[in-house]
Amino acid sequence: MIVIAHRGASLTAPENTLPAFEQALDVGADGIEFDVRVTADGRLVVIHDDNLERITGDSTRIADMTFDEVRRADVGRRREWGARLQVPCVEEVIELASGRARLFIELKASWRDGEFRSAAPAAEAILPLVAGVPGVTLSSFDPLAVAAVRALAPEIPTGIGCAEALPLDWCLQTAVSGGHEECHVSNGAVEVGFIRRAHDAGRRVLVWTVNEPSRLRELRDIGVDGVFTDDPAGARAACAPQVGTL
């Protein structure tokens, strides 16, 4: 079972920032996971929410901000980081982590004025940036986004995320029909029967977001292929010496 740092080592550093990714790499995380959105001027930035309200108080949507406007935000302030932190661009994270860990890049869709906005444009924009980069998986809860990856760059592994409200077998069926290698499912929903069905179908199961040592060991023992965790150091310690490769 591999250990993937969820938004970096987000328990000990501000999420989706270069220090969080550096800390995750320093403690030997097998992979780092980060979220990608598109700015108004077409740049790809690393942030989970569709605005900065939770981490800076600014409710302006990322899609309505230019890259320079996003970069002016201090995303370390509410965590009292002690130094100004910018929202990274995708290129910075790739430069930092490429060759040091696998990269699990989640393409974020959004809702605006009651209308679904697919992450397919983010999928199309990111492909030139990850071309030739080793160990990249592109994932999304939006089937349209990972379908775009499959159509444009079938050599890049993809994963389909499954919201807690959806049946696990929807995720598996979507993975099989769409050619996605991985099912990314919630800690609260995953169970051993699903893991067996996914493995029988040749699909890997990665579980988000798991921080409790006893649960990490339980998931390892029932055959989960990888876990997303806010505490990669703690996860490696909890599962040692039986962490593995993917």
| pLDDT in 10s for each residue of the chain, 246 residues | 999 999 999 999 999 999 999 999 999 999 999 999 999 999 999 999 999 999 999 999 999 999 999 999 999 988 889 899 999 999 999 999 999 999 999 999 998 888 999 999 999 999 999 999 999 999 999 999 999 999 999 999 999 999 999 999 999 999 999 999 999 999 999 999 999 999 999 999 999 999 999 999 999 999 999 999 999 999 999 988 655 556
Tell whether 148 is covered by a domain: yes
Exposure string (b/e) for 142-157, b if CB count within 10 Å is 16 or more? bbebbbbbeeebeebb
Sign of the Cα torsion 183, 188, 192, 197 reads negative
pLDDT at 240: 81
Task: Find the largest Cα–Cα distance for the chain.
Answer: 49
Contacting residues for 113 by C-beta, under 8 A, at least 6 apart: none
| Burial class (CB within 10 angstroms; exposed 0-12, middle 13-18, buried 19+) of 22 | middle
pLDDT for the residue numbered 113: 82
Asked if the structure places residue 200 within a domain, the reply is yes
Q: What is the structure's pLDDT at 242?
A: 57
Cα 162 to chain centroid, rounded: 13
pLDDT at site 244: 55
Q: Which domain holds residue 89?
A: 2-239
Q: Structurally, how many domains does the chain consist of?
A: 1
Indicate the SS3 state at residue 232: helix
Show the CA angle centred on residue 24, arms to residues 124 and 191, nearest 5°. 75
List Cα–Cα distances, 79 to 10, 85, 230, 238, in angstroms: 11, 10, 15, 26
The answer to whether position 214 is within a domain reads yes
In a domain, 28, yes or no: yes
Best CA proximity match to 160, nearest among 102, 201, 107, 110: 107
Tokens 């995303």 belong to residue: 75
Please tell me the predicted confidence (pLDDT) of residue 80: 87
Structure token digits, residue 205? 């199961």
Q: The CATH number of the domain where 192 resides is what?
A: 3.20.20.190
Give the per-residue pLDDT at 246: 62
The residue type at 212: E
What φ, ψ does residue 37 adopt, rounded to 5°? -135, 165
The answer as to whether 244 is a domain residue is: no
Question: Rounded to two decimals, what is the model's pTM?
Answer: 0.96
| Residue 225: inside a domain | yes
Is residue 53 classed as helix, strand or coil in its secondary structure?
helix
Is 246 inside any structural domain? no
